[in-house]
Amino acid sequence: MTPAGTLFGIGLGPGAADLLTLRAARLIGAARVIAYPALAGGESFARSIAAGLIPPTAQEIVIDLPMTTDRAPAQAAYDRGAATMAAALDSGEDVLVLCEGDPLFYGSFMYLLARLRDRYRVEIVPGVTSVSACSAVAARPLAARNETVTILPGPLPDADLARHLRAADAVVVMKVGRHLPRAIYVERATLGSERILPLSDAPAEAPYFSMILIAKGADPWL
Amino acid sequence: MTPAGTLFGIGLGPGAADLLTLRAARLIGAARVIAYPALAGGESFARSIAAGLIPPTAQEIVIDLPMTTDRAPAQAAYDRGAATMAAALDSGEDVLVLCEGDPLFYGSFMYLLARLRDRYRVEIVPGVTSVSACSAVAARPLAARNETVTILPGPLPDADLARHLRAADAVVVMKVGRHLPRAIYVERATLGSERILPLSDAPAEAPYFSMILIAKGADPWL
């Protein structure tokens, strides 16, 4: 009997093709089966980051996610994707899941991992997060010494955001949908369309790939 | 007059040589001047990660940090390092600072940045953090959906740790020196000497490159 393949979660970094790791690039360049999410039949952002490396012969499993906040249709899409991936793994093929940023940091890879981890060998390739990318393009240190960093999803209720902000040193607000004082707004870090602005100049409608950085102060530096 | 060079902060990732980004590898492979910290005359961990890529002809600026928690001697070392780097930058050379993990995430690069950013062009290459590396080797998602992530330096006073832990969803404790319940202990993630243990089995003396991951629960997954 053929031994089953390995499930790989491959972090692709924040968007620029050369912010993939050497390990991710090597694995993708040799891939026979890849899988990635796409939203409602649209182009997959994950696939677009790695596009230059994907062998033309690779089998591609698209996990087509519906455009809804209702969880049942997404669960059904992950169920179907995991079943297709399981068939490939059972036939002895490794399956590489392409993941924006880091696979285990607010990534959808965990939903596939939850469905497959008990049956298959799993290997994760960590990636550069959008948090690091935003700090980098703004050239602003996020935290030093014994400062804490709190990462807050923007969709949290205002009261929760306020409570966390009171307790925090450095703060990252991801998936920006709210305005916060004295902060830098970064949109599409490392992509060609990247923008860095004072938060007061941020657009009224922020895209999903945007972030606010709030450093603790002007001189936490030695 | 020769235009001044650019100061690069190059994230090297958590330790494995193939977790450098393609961009970092390309820049290091073409470097003419590199700089990196070393502790009290010892080997530089940052340099060891990139060792296979550094051209033998590159000039190397070693920032020799004293083994003390007193800040004045470290400040003097960064002052000296920045002066040497400034001389290279003024002569038109780019200077690449090699940084473990991500340059702006608890990194010493910020001390050089603070000394040089007003005079030179700066470019930061973000890297994979040890937080992502620890999640990856443990194959444990750090956060999903609207969960928050709180990153706590272990040397914080107990009362501060306790206060943050009460407010937090997912928690990362870096620079582990304390014990915390129900958590995974990860030592030297992605290096050959990597160890992953239940926290109860963690060694009494944890090395500096160690971390505790505390995920929110068993099933925050879809």
Amino acid at B122: V
Confidence band of A216 (pLDDT split at 50, 70, 90): very low
Kindly list the residues from chain A whose CB atom is less than 8 angstroms away from the CB atom of residue B136.
9, 11, 102-104, 124-126
Beta strand ranges found along chain A (DSSP E)? 6-11, 33-39, 59-65, 95-99, 121-125, 149-153, 170-174, 184-187, 195-198, 210-214
The series of mean pLDDT values per 10 residues for chain B, 222 residues long, is: 94 96 98 94 92 98 87 92 98 98 93 96 96 88 86 79 76 62 69 75 72 51 36
* CB-CB under 8 Å, A23 with B104: no
Q: What is the pLDDT of residues B191-208, one digit of tens each?
A: 777 877 776 677 777 776
| Under 8 Å between Cβ of A172 and A131 | yes
Q: What pLDDT band is residue A218 in, cutting at 50, 70 and 90?
A: very low
Q: Name the band, by pLDDT with cuts 50, 70 and 90, for residue A188.
A: confident
Query: Which residues in chain A have Cβ-Cβ distances shorter than 8 Å to B106?
Result: 143-145
Above 0.90 for ipTM, yes or no?
no
CA–CA gap between residue B84 and residue A121 (Å, rounded): 49
The closest alpha carbon to A15, from A137, A125, A100, A97, belongs to A100
**pLDDT per position as a tens digit, A84-132:** 999 999 999 999 999 999 999 998 999 999 999 999 999 999 999 999 9
Q: Between these two residues, A172 and B151, which has the higher pLDDT value?
A: B151
CB-based contacts of A69, cutoff 8 Å, min separation 6: none
Residue A212 confidence class, pLDDT cut points 50, 70, 90? low
Q: Residue A215 has what pLDDT?
A: 53
Minimal CA separation from B141 to chain A, in Å: 4
Which of A17, A125, A142 comes nearest B136 by C-beta?
A125
- A2-24 pLDDT, tens digit per residue, is 899 999 999 999 999 999 999 99
Number of A/B CB contacts below 8 angstroms equals 197
pLDDT in tens, A33-54: 999 999 888 889 999 999 999 9
Torsion B85-B103-A202-A46 (CA) sign: positive
Encoded tokens for A199? 């938060």
Best of A120, A151, A152, A174 to disrupt the B interface by mutation (most B CBs within 10 Å)?
A: A151
| pLDDT score of B178 | 44
pLDDT at A220: 35
* B110/A221 CB distance under 8 A: yes
Question: Which of B6, B104, B112, B129 is the best mutation test for A, with the most CBs of A within 10 A?
Answer: B104
Structure confidence at residue A76 as a pLDDT band (50, 70, 90): very high
Task: List the single residue in A106, A128, A163 with the smallest CB-CB distance to B144.
Answer: A106
Three-state SS letters, B103-159? CCECCCHHHHHHHHCCCCEEEEECCCCHHHHHHHHHCCCCECCCCCEEEEECCCCHH
Residues in chain A: 222
* pLDDT, averaged across chain A: 85
Query: Are A189 and B125 within 8 A, CB to CB?
Result: no
Task: Give the three-class secondary structure for B78.
Answer: helix
Q: How far is CA A104 from CA A19, A191, A208, B132, in A?
A: 17, 22, 18, 7
Give the residue-averaged pLDDT of A165-185: 66
Contact indicator for A24, A11 with CB cutoff of 8 Å: yes
Spell out a b/e string for B120-157, using b for 16 or more CB atoms within 10 Å of the CB, else e.
bebbbbbbbbbbbbbbbbbbbbbbbebbbbbbbbbebe
Residues of A in contact with B143 (CB under 8 A): 105-106, 151
- Measured between CA atoms, the residue of chain A closest to residue B129 is A128
Residue A176's pLDDT is what?
59
Structural domains of chain B, ranges and CATH numbers in brackets:
6-125 (3.40.1010.10), 130-214 (3.30.950.10)
Q: Is A5 helix (H, G, I), strand (E, B) or coil?
A: coil
What is the reported pLDDT for A53?
Answer: 98
